[in-house]
């Protein structure tokens, strides 16, 4: 890989890290108080949002009921938001609050 390409990749990684809510102290403090399942769901959403509840269960390897509980806890802490899916309006998709 050329030096120019390596620099571009490094810049993209820095930009991604800056955009992550996990770098926000307030976000981390609120997340700290939540159960491990909520932390795992938040981490999955960090990399792959927006996801439906079923997709979150599949990606996190948690049962649907546990994902639902984690999403409720994250929503109560204002760490996650939802909207209707563009692909299937019957489903909600979830993403981290900025």
State mean pLDDT over 2-13. Answer: 52
* pLDDT tens track for 38-64: 999 999 999 888 999 999 999 999 999
pTM comes to 0.76
pLDDT tens for each residue of 8-48: 544 444 444 457 888 888 889 999 999 999 999 999 999 88
Q: What is the pLDDT of residue 24?
A: 83
Is residue 24 within 8 Å of residue 98, measured between CB atoms?
Answer: no
Domain ranges within the chain, ordered by starting residue: 22-96
State residue 15's pLDDT score: 41
Model pLDDT, residue 46:
92
pLDDT at residue 3 is higher than 50: yes
Average pLDDT over every residue of 76-91: 92
Interatomic CA distance for residues 70 and 51, integer angstroms:
14
Tell me the CATH class for 22-96: mainly alpha
Closest CA to 59 of 69, 45, 78: 45
How is residue 95 annotated by DSSP? Answer: E
């Amino acid at each position: 890989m050329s030096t120019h390409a390596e620099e571009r990749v490094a810049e993209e990684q820095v930009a991604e890290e800056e955009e992550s809510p996990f770098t926000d102290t307030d976000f981390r403090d609120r997340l700290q108080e939540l159960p491990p399942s909520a932390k795992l769901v938040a981490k999955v959403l960090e990399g792959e949002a927006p996801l439906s509840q079923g997709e979150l269960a599949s990606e996190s390897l948690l049962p649907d009921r546990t994902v639902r509980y984690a999403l409720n806890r994250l929503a109560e802490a204002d760490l996650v938001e939802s909207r209707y899916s563009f692909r299937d309006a019957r489903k909600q998709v979830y993403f981290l609050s900025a």
